[in-house]
Amino acid sequence: MLSSGAAEEVSMYMDYNELGLAWESICAELIDLACKPPVSFLEIIQETGVIMGFTKEENQSGTLWSELKNMCNQKT
């Protein structure tokens, strides 16, 4: 579950159609919480990132994407 601050941030970004920023906030929160959501959820987040073009390591989104990819590849 996202913290209340992260949830508010994601909601605000979505209200303004800033979907990339909302995605980044969700990813950052998952990583900061060091939680292990179901692989199916991580795969959806990962697929969404690919569709949005967040696969390059040079930017913050690429780094978040890579960390999520690593989470997906870890055995549960």
Q: What's the chain look like in SS3? A: CCCHHHHHHHHHHHHCCCHHHHHHHHHHHHHHHCCCCCHHHHHHHHHHHHHCCCCCCCCHHHHHHHHHHHHHHCCC
Token pair in block for residue 37? 């959501």
Give the residue from 3, 1, 75, 2 showing the smallest Cα distance to 39.
75
pTM for the predicted model, two decimal places: 0.71
Residue range(s) defining the domain that contains residue 55: 4-73
Q: Tens digits of per-residue pLDDT, 36-49?
A: 778 788 888 878 87
pLDDT of residue 60: 60
Token pair in block for residue 56? 């390059």
Number of separate domains in the chain = 1
